[in-house]
Chain A
Amino acid sequence: MAEPASHAQPGGDGQTRRDFLLQATTAVGVVGTCLSLWPFIDSMNPAADTLALSTTDVDLSSVKVGQSITVVWQGKPVFVRHRTPDEIAAAAKDDGETMRDPQKDADRVKKAEWLVLIGVCTHLGCIPGGQKPGDSRGDFGGWMCPCHGSHYDTSGRIRKGPAPANLAVPPYTFTSASTIRIG
């Protein structure tokens, strides 16, 4: 008349099958509850219709040398600048300068005369001035953010002020000689 083997003996280690089942069930329950949070968290990420607005086509033919246009992509302003030869030369000349976010001008453009940038300051998201003829363009002839005084050069690189990174270059392709698709 032996006791069932699974039953804890007095003075044993106290672990029974029942303890194991309890702990395993609790663990599965906790993990499952945590996993069930994901749909709630992910529902706050961009929805399909928001993602669908992810490309913008831009016609460059009317933008003269030295002019800039601002287009909207994903709700953000995108600066498209038809750079002058002087601006291109200035940007290339500064490639060797000490910078917070070092990048060569050639790595930031597809065609040297067209500079395409997301017009959002990398500090706290304000829109830098420099698109309109009357705007201050900062110490480096590019853009200057009015909020906390970040100066960007003619390649959109951060040169002075609190912003941690260069103005971002959005993904874009030339769909013809004078049109681009952003996104």
Chain B
Amino acid sequence: MSGFHTNSKVIGWVEQRLPIFSFLHHSAVEYPTPKNLNYWWNFGSLAGFQLVVMILSGIFLAANYTAHTSLAFDSVERIMRDVNYGWFMRYLHANGASMFFLLVYTHMLRGLYYGSYKAPRELLWWLGVVIYLCMMGTAFMGYVLPWGQMSFWGATVITNLFSAFPVVGKFIVTWLWGGFAVDNPTLNRFYAFHYLLPFVIYALMVVHLWALHTVKSNNPLGIDVKTPQDTIPFHPYFTIKDLFGIGVFLMIYMAFVFWAPNFFGEPDNYIKANPMVTPPHIVPEWYFLPFYAILRAFTMDLWIIPAKLQGVVAMFSAIIVLLFLPWLDTSKVRSAAFRPIYKQLFWVFVADCVVLGYCGGKPPEGNLVMIGQLATAYYFLHFLVILPIVGKIEKTRPLPASISSAVLKPMEKA
């Protein structure tokens, strides 16, 4: 199976003791990749690249950062003003977080559109959801570290979410804080976990790739690879394509780093944290806004369930529901290209997420409350009602016989 062989005595010697060269050859050179992948398939490797950028810039920031409430804010300002290229490391890291989420959201939407979560890729999808959850935790704790006003009050509001759980809520919050308010013990432990989690994500990414290489990539047609004619080797065809993607991505990323480094930031976070003054309008980072809108959509107590608990449960459910997606989507056809109804519903869902994000960023007043509630209802309706039904009633278009036949004999109108 392995097409790896060598004439080098040194490589042969290593190979006999640790088959690392044949492993690399097998998984990064001859790895059979569907020949019809489009550019949406670049975002997985881009996200992997960005994880490395975040870990690197983060380690060099850590070398100059002090996790203490009286020193953290000033140590970040010192990084910005005094440390050689400190500003560059910090802007790489801060904008890099936004870019990382942008890449991962695109990667996830690619999976939603082309049905990449369906059998046999359910575990691959699950690992992705777990990576996403870890990213959210990492990003949240990282945002606390500069110890600005948004850092402090974001941490206060989000940790207070856990107080919604009956009986144990208060103890959970005190335990998370290590005190009776967000304070030095909180900052210290957030720093420790913010440093740890990226390596957990890295390990999860390796398992994600392991699962991927077991079941192989999905493709825009969503049909299985049938013959060797359907694939081309990963190297050089996709190594070069992924490198090209990284080049395009870096142009966009660096445009923010150099020309609009505070575009994604909140001015309030350049004010040192003050536990006695709440800013008038607390907003999370943009990548959390849809979930923040879901959290705030619940305003009425139901029987004994307070509105606050409903919001918290709904917010967590909005992510947990993704784990059930492989079974909620009942359609046998993977790609939206052959699903005329789902294709449109996909874009309605994307629009719904954008509306939720907009509502999450504004104060909950006037019509926005109602719009946020309707968008929240639709979010869950999409997964829990629409997908199961559409999969059953939708008349899908005929699938091509194979990936190569779709290329060789372009489909008729269908």
Asked if B339 is at the interface of the complex by the 8 Å CB criterion, the answer is no
User: In the complex, A147→B185 CA distance in Å?
Assistant: 25
- Contact between chains at B280 and A146 (CB < 8 Å): yes
Q: Which of B175, B179, B185, B189 has the largest count of A CB atoms less than 10 A from its CB?
A: B179
User: In the complex, A120→B173 CA distance in Å?
Assistant: 14
Stretch at the interface among A8-16, A23-31, A43-51, A172-180: A43-51
- Contact between chains at A147 and B181 (CB < 8 Å): no
CB proximity to A under 8 Å, residues B270-303: 275-278, 280-282, 296, 299, 301
- Contact between chains at A125 and B160 (CB < 8 Å): yes
Partner of B276, one of A77, A100, A146, A147: A77
Chain B residue nearest in CB terms to A43? B178
Contact mask for chain A residues 118-157; partner B; CB cutoff 8 A; 1 contact, 0 none: 0010011111000000000000000000111100000000
Asked if A112 is at the interface of the complex by the 8 Å CB criterion, the answer is no
Chain B residue nearest in CB terms to A148? B364
Q: How large is the interface on A (under 10, 10 to 19, 20 to 34, 35 or more residues)?
A: 20 to 34
- Contact between chains at B156 and A124 (CB < 8 Å): yes
User: In the complex, A175→B189 CA distance in Å?
Assistant: 37
Chain B residue nearest in CB terms to A145? B278
- Contact between chains at A147 and B157 (CB < 8 Å): yes
Asked if A162 is at the interface of the complex by the 8 Å CB criterion, the answer is yes
User: Which A residues touch B296, using CB under 8 A?
Assistant: 148
Binding site secondary structure of chain A: loop
User: Which B residues touch A75, using CB under 8 A?
Assistant: 179-181, 183, 275
User: Which B residues touch A149, using CB under 8 A?
Assistant: 364
User: Which B residues touch A162, using CB under 8 A?
Assistant: 299, 307-308
- Contact between chains at A44 and B178 (CB < 8 Å): yes
Q: Given A75-B181, A147-B278, A148-B364, A124 and B175 touching (CB < 8 A)?
A: no
Chain A residue nearest in CB terms to B176? A44
Interchain Cβ contacts under 8 Å between A and B, 23 examples: A41-B175, A44-B175, A44-B176, A44-B189, A46-B174, A50-B179, A74-B181, A75-B181, A75-B275, A76-B181, A76-B275, A123-B160, A123-B308, A124-B157, A124-B160, A124-B161, A125-B157, A127-B277, A147-B282, A148-B364, A149-B364, A162-B299, A163-B308
